[in-house]
Amino acid sequence: MVVGYAMAVGTKNTQVRYAACFLSITGACNAGPMLISWATGNAAPDTVRAVATAFIPGIGAFGSIIAVWTYLPIDAPDFHNGNSLNLATSSLACLFVLVLVVHLRRENWKRERGERDYRLVGKTAREIEELGHLHPEFRYQV
């Protein structure tokens, strides 16, 4: 998606821009389901998973609203503003994913070393069961 939008912003060649459409849409169509499945796989208990399942598409829906105001007829035929905004937001999303991957790996490493075992101290069996993703034995999927 980032490559496609970079191509669309960086050239006026219609053939390159046409190819950029395919790259952009291919990346965009895959990103949503991948992020939802990743978030729900790392969310526990069920209430947190339900909120994540609703929250992520809700955030994604803002893209539809923003697109109405960034792809304006006055900016045609290049639509530099809309493509630039999509390039920026998709690049930022990639950066967020990379930061999150580093954070989750670090958190899993801490759990393997026992640095999160303090969460079990003084808890009843029911409280331990309700810890969900905070439980020291829970491992995030990366």
**Residue percentage of the chain with pLDDT more than 90:** 88
0.85 surpassed by pTM: yes
Return the pLDDT at 21: 95
Mean pLDDT (the chain) is: 94
pLDDT digits (tens, 9 = 90+) for 75-93: 998 999 999 999 999 999 9
pLDDT digits (tens, 9 = 90+) for 22-62: 999 999 999 989 999 999 999 999 999 999 999 999 988 88
Return the pLDDT at 32: 87
Return the pLDDT at 127: 95
Q: Show me where the domains of the chain are located.
A: 2-97
Residue 64 pLDDT level (bands cut at 50, 70, 90) = confident
Give me the mean pLDDT over the 108-134 stretch. Answer: 96
Return the pLDDT at 67: 82
**Residue percentage of the chain with pLDDT more than 70:** 100
Q: Residue 79 in contact with residue 88, Cβ under 8 Å?
A: no
Q: Which residues in the chain belong to E strands, given as ranges? A: none
Return the pLDDT at 13: 95
- Alpha helices, DSSP H, located in the chain: 2-10, 14-41, 46-70, 80-112, 125-129
Q: Residue 52 in contact with residue 39, Cβ under 8 Å?
A: yes
Matching residue, tokens 């493509």: 83
